[in-house]
Amino acid sequence: MTKDDIIALPNPHLRQKSQRVGIVSDEIKQIVQEMEAATISWDMSRPHEVGVALAAVQIDRLYKIVVVRNNYDDKDDHTFTTFINPEITKTDGKLIEDYEGCLSVKDVYGKVKRYEKVKVKALDLNGQEFRVSAEGFLARIFQHEIDHTNGIVFIDHIKDDPEAFYKLDDDGKLVSLDYDKDVHENSILW
């Protein structure tokens, strides 16, 4: 799989709920490998960004599977942790507003409020349940990706706020997006 296999809005599949995985079969493990390959391919095509995570729906597989990069501060680290049937069991702390982007929302970024801490339970590739606690950017990643498994895209949290949208300029800096021209009129997001 490559970056070209990642679906983007307005593809309606991104708005569908993914199904739980019953058994971690060879098919599921193959999907995980495809997710990782697509993320790395996308990452290599973007000079100013790092692909930190991906949900299976983003490669058009409607399963509750998420892969999260082990070291998102190192673009050369191509290792991931797999979360099958991930579920947020607890949120904690304040709602913090920060920038988000998405491999399935082309060239659009936004300021989204997310909880600063979460607890997540999931299955690993051996079908064993495990739990993690996350805060800061990692907590944001989990909330973003688990939203995907429920048919929610980050822009759904900010679609009524024209000032919340941004794009990257040629130098990799965030600049305001012309909401009426770039977003609303062209319906690139809905």
User: pLDDT tens-digit profile of 57-104?
Assistant: 999 999 999 999 999 889 899 999 999 999 999 999 999 999 999 999
The predicted model gives 163-169 an average pLDDT of: 79
How far is Cα 37 from Cα 44, in angstroms, rounded to an integer? 11
Q: Does residue 170 carry a pLDDT above 80? A: no
Superfamily (CATH H level) for 3-185 = Peptide deformylase (3.90.45.10)
Asked whether the CA dihedral 54, 137, 105, 3 is positive or negative, the reply is negative
Which residues are annotated as catalytic? 145
The predicted model gives 134-147 an average pLDDT of: 98
Q: Does residue 56 carry a pLDDT above 90? A: yes
β-partners of residue 58 are: none
For the whole model, what pTM was predicted? 0.91
Domain residue extents for the chain: 3-185
Given pLDDT bands bounded at 50, 70 and 90, which one contains residue 162?
A: confident
Q: Does residue 50 carry a pLDDT above 70? A: yes
How far is Cα 29 from Cα 70, in angstroms, rounded to an integer? 18
Q: Please, are residues 134 and 115 in contact by the beta-carbon 8 Å criterion?
A: no
pLDDT in tens, 103-127: 999 888 899 999 999 999 999 999 9
